[in-house]
Amino acid sequence: MAGTTVGEQGSAQGLAQHILHLVSSGAASSRTELVRELGLAPSTVSARVQELVAAGLLTESGEGASRGGRRPRLLRVRAQGGVALAADLGSHHARLGAVDVGGGVSDAVDLAHDITAGPESAVDWLCERVAELAAAQRESGHTVRALGVAFPGPVQPAEGRVLSPSRMPGWHRYPLRDVLAERLGMPVTVANDATMMAVGEHRAARPELDHLVVVKAGRGIGSGVVAAGRPHDGAAGCAGDISHVRVEAAGERPCSCGNIGCLETVASGAALIRELAVQGVVVADTNELLRLVADGDPQATTLVRAAGRHIGTVLSVVVNFFNPQAVALGGALATAEPLVAAVRGVLYERCLPLATADLEITTTVTGRDAGLLGAGLTALRENLPTTAPSPQEESVHA
Contacts of residue 394, Cβ cutoff 8 Å, sequence gap at least 6: 11, 40, 41, 44
- Asked whether residue 112 falls in the same domain as residue 236, the answer is no
- Asked whether residue 214 falls in the same domain as residue 356, the answer is yes
Give 186-200 pLDDT, tens digit per residue: 999 999 999 999 999
Task: Residue 36: give its domain's CATH number.
Answer: 1.10.10.10
Number of domains in the chain: 3
Render each residue's pLDDT in the chain as its tens digit; 398 residues: 333 333 444 466 678 878 887 887 778 889 999 999 899 999 999 999 998 888 878 889 866 554 555 667 899 887 666 899 999 999 889 999 999 987 889 999 999 999 999 999 999 999 999 999 999 999 998 889 999 999 999 999 889 999 988 888 899 999 999 999 999 999 999 999 999 999 999 988 998 899 999 999 998 899 999 999 999 999 989 999 999 999 999 999 999 889 999 999 999 999 999 999 999 999 999 999 999 999 999 999 999 999 999 999 999 999 999 999 999 999 999 999 999 999 999 999 999 999 999 999 999 999 999 999 999 999 988 887 654 433 333 333 33
- Asked whether residue 342 falls in the same domain as residue 317, the answer is yes
- Asked whether residue 33 falls in the same domain as residue 145, the answer is no
Give domain status of residue 217, yes or no.
yes
What is the rounded radius of gyration, in angstroms, for the C-alpha atoms of the chain?
22
- Asked whether residue 87 falls in the same domain as residue 187, the answer is yes
Per 3-state DSSP, the chain is made up of helix, strand and coil in percentages (nearest 5) of: 45, 20, 35
- Asked whether residue 175 falls in the same domain as residue 267, the answer is no
Secondary structure (DSSP) of 36-90: HHHTB-HHHHHHHHHHHHHTTSEEEES----SSSSPPPEEEE-TTS-EEEEEEE-
- Asked whether residue 316 falls in the same domain as residue 228, the answer is yes
- Asked whether residue 225 falls in the same domain as residue 277, the answer is yes
Which residue type occupies 138? R
* Residue range(s) defining the domain that contains residue 238: 208-364
What is the C-alpha separation between 115 and 91, in angstroms, rounded? 6
- Asked whether residue 112 falls in the same domain as residue 46, the answer is no
- Asked whether residue 193 falls in the same domain as residue 212, the answer is no
Task: Residue 305: give its domain's CATH number.
Answer: 3.30.420.40
